[in-house]
Amino acid sequence: MRVLLIGKSARTDVIAEAIVRSRRKPLLFSMMDAENPGVMRRSKEFCVAKTDDAEAVLAFAERVEPDFSIIDPEDPIAHGVSDALEKAGIPCVAPSKKLGQLESSKSFCRELLRKHGIEGNPEYRIFRSGSGIENWLRELLDAEKGFVVKPDGLTGGKGVKVLGDHLRGVEDALDYCEEVLAKHASVVIEEKLEGEEFSLQSLTDGVAVQDCPPVQDHKRAFEGDEGPNTGGMGSYSCENHLLPFMGREDAEAAHAINEKVAAALLKETGAKYRGVLYGGFICTRQGVKLIEYNVRFGDPEAMNVLPIMKSDFVDVCESIINGKLDETKLRFENAATVCKYAVPEGYPSNPIRGALLEVGRSRARYYYGAVREENGKYVTLGSRAIASVGIAPSLAEAEKIAEEGVGAIKGAVFHRRDIGTQALINRRIEHMKRLRKNG
């Protein structure tokens, strides 16, 4: 069994681990934009090249002849790499470029839900020019709702601007819309949802949809949810496969949305979505709503679910490819997980590059992101560097292990100590209680 994996982040590293620990003993071949020491160590052979270049990927794939491939990040999907692999006869666990619009186009996603009567959309409108934008913004404000402005395209997680966070009012929003419309065909302006966010990563063969345990990520750079948004500073999941602020009915509502979206995509395009369907949801006082979709695992959320997956990941990938996911039950350990990222000082706006990190001994597992290895030490490249993951029967214990692990990474990095702690979780529970009481 030979598997080709494409990607360069800590999320790719944890996928690589899930592949090589398979009882099928696969050989791993990997391709990455920049050297990733974690993925490289797990690979029989690797290639550093541009992974959104279909020709470069095909050249490597045709040489190593994998039984199937997995594309981790969204960029190669948006550039047609999955289509190219499939065309060359190499099955791919990742959707086609067309299906990938679910993430790459915010308007496609909102319209798909609306057209197919799938619950979960906030109020939204799509604009192709500036005309009518001001009225819509004022309409939302008059209804005592905030607003969110979303460029209709991939922006590397930096395009969404929220009233109160990045936008002070209508004037700011109008300026930003003008900027967006100069670069993108359209802009989506939607109601600002209030609540607690969670990630539901489902695996699907386009018909059967099976979930990983829900995870909560922490986007803000600093403790107490302060500071700028980041790719995600850390995340946790619970041993009962729910989150402290959500009930079974919320998880079921999110699952139903993912399932209906897979069906709607099939109806709409005639093609089966094969891969990871990651819904970014929010529990609000009106129930579960959809923030956005990603067509890949979450980073860091992949690190909360793959290490506790009891099913053999390679078998699962094969069932996705063969359209037999309904015959395999996806199973996870009843363990809690906490992931904390060590990120370079100055991250995200002005990160130190080239800082030397040493990783000591601890009980945590490490997944390597934006670092290069040099004589047993690691050099920061600017983005999230090394993830420390604690896995234990309880959240408190998992948090201790993750904290011990991230503390053992020495050098010019910082992390959020509060992720996974009871104090922060109590704030989330209180937040949800307050919203539901006012409802």
Rule CB under 6 A: which residues touch ligand AMP? 122, 148, 157, 160, 162, 190, 192-193, 197, 219, 280, 291-292
Contact between 89 and 321 (Cβ < 8 Å): no
Residue among 154, 151, 149, 150 nearest 104 (CA): 154
Whether the Cβ atoms of residue 77 and residue 295 lie closer than 8 Å to each other = yes
Residue 216: contacted member of ligand AMP, ligand GLY, none (CB under 5 to 8 Å, by partner type): none
**Spatial distance between the Cα atoms of 369 and 356, rounded to a whole number of angstroms:** 14
Taking the complex as a whole, the smallest distance from the CB of residue 154 to ligand AMP amounts, in Å, to 10
Mapped onto helix, strand or coil, the DSSP state of residue 152 is: coil
For residue 307, what are the CA distances in angstroms to 207, 215, 272, 298, 391? 25, 13, 27, 14, 9
- Among the listed residues 105, 204, 216, 294, the single contact to ligand GLY using CB under 6 A: 294
End-to-end CA distance of the chain: 54
Count of residues touching ligand GLY (by CB under 6 A): 6
The DSSP bridge pattern shows strands 45-48 and 27-32 to be parallel
DSSP assignment of 166-204 equals: TB-SHHHHHHHHHHHHHHSS-EEEEEPP-SEEEEEEEEE
Binding of ligand GLY by 275 (CB under 6 A): no
Q: 66 to 125, contacts with ligand GLY by CB under 6 A?
A: none
Contact region with ligand GLY (CB under 6 A), list: 21-29, 56-64, 205-213, 292-300: 292-300
* Closer residue to ligand GLY, CB minimum distance, 17 or 301: 301
Helices 106-115 and 248-269: crossing angle in degrees, nearest 10, is 100
Q: List the single partner that 141 binds among ligand AMP, ligand GLY, none, CB under 5 to 8 Å by kind.
A: none
- Smallest distance from the beta carbon of 302 to ligand GLY, in angstroms? 8
Nearer Cβ to ligand GLY (208/303): 303
From the list ligand AMP, ligand GLY, none, partner contacted by residue 207 (C-beta under 5 to 8 A by kind): none
Which pair of structure tokens corresponds to residue 192? Answer: 């600002």
Stretch that binds ligand GLY, among 17-25, 107-115, 297-305, 374-382 (CB under 6 A): 297-305
Query: CB of 354 within 8 A of CB of 343?
Result: no
Which tokens is 158 given?
Answer: 């930096």
Q: Which of 103, 250, 299, 318 binds ligand GLY (CB under 6 A)?
A: 299
33 contact, one of ligand AMP, ligand GLY, none, CB 5-8 Å limit per kind: none
Which residues does 87 contact at the CB level (< 8 Å), separation at least 6?
Answer: none
CB of 158 vs ligand GLY, minimal distance in Å: 11
Minimum Å gap between C-beta 102 and ligand GLY is: 13
For residue 26, give the DSSP letter. P
Least spacing, CB of residue 130 vs ligand GLY, in Å: 29
Whether the bond into 300 is cis, omega within 30 of 0? yes
Residue with Cβ nearer ligand GLY (83 or 301): 301
For ligand GLY, the closer CB: 91 or 232: 232
- Return the residue matching tokens 């995600």: 232
Site for ligand GLY (CB under 6 A): which residue of 72, 75, 217, 318? 217
82 φ, ψ to 5°? -65, -40
Beta carbon of residue 217, minimum distance to ligand GLY (angstroms, whole number) = 4
| Helices and strands, number each (H, E), in the chain | 14, 25
Rounded to a whole number of angstroms, the minimum distance from the CB of residue 29 to ligand AMP is 31
Report the residue from 205, 301, 399, 403 that binds ligand GLY according to the rule CB under 6 A: 301
Q: What is the number of other CB atoms lying within 10 angstroms of the CB of residue 144? A: 6
Q: Exactly one of 66, 100, 213, 232 binds ligand GLY (CB under 6 A); which one?
A: 232
User: Least distance (Å) from ligand AMP to the CB of residue 91?
Assistant: 29
Q: By the criterion CB under 6 A, which residues form the site for ligand GLY?
A: 217, 232, 294, 298-299, 301
